[in-house]
Amino acid sequence: MYRLLIVEDDFRIAEAIKEKMKMWDLDLYVIEDFRMVLTDFKSYNPHIVLLDISLPFFDGYHWCREIRKISNIPIIFISSASDNMNIVMAMNMGADDFIAKPFDMNVLVAKVQAMLRRAYDFIQSVSVLEHRGAFLNMEDDTLTFNNNKIALTKNEYRILLCLMENKGKVVSREKIMERLWKTESFIDENTLTVNVNRLRKKLDSSGLENFITTRVGVGYIVE
CATH number at residue 61: 3.40.50.2300
Residue range of the domain that includes 179: 128-221
What pLDDT shows up at residue 24? Answer: 85
Q: What is the pTM of this model?
A: 0.58
pLDDT in tens, 63-103: 999 998 888 889 999 988 777 888 888 888 888 898 888 88
Number of domains in the chain: 2
Least reliable range by pLDDT among 46-60, 61-75, 127-141: 127-141
| pLDDT at residue 62, as a whole number | 92
44 vs 38: CA distance, rounded Å: 10
Rounded CA separation 193/205 (Å): 18
Same domain, 20 and 108: yes
pLDDT tens digit sequence for 7-23: 999 999 999 999 888 88
CA 146/CA 100 separation, integer angstroms: 28
- In this prediction, residue 186 carries a pLDDT of 56
Q: Looking at the chain, how many residues does it have?
A: 223
Quick one: pLDDT band at residue 1, thresholds 50, 70, 90?
Answer: confident
How many CB atoms are located within 10 Å of the residue 173 CB?
16
Q: Average of pLDDT values for 50-75?
A: 90
Q: Return the CATH number at 199.
A: 1.10.10.10
Greater confidence, 16 or 139?
Answer: 16
Where is the domain boundary, 96, 125, 154? 125
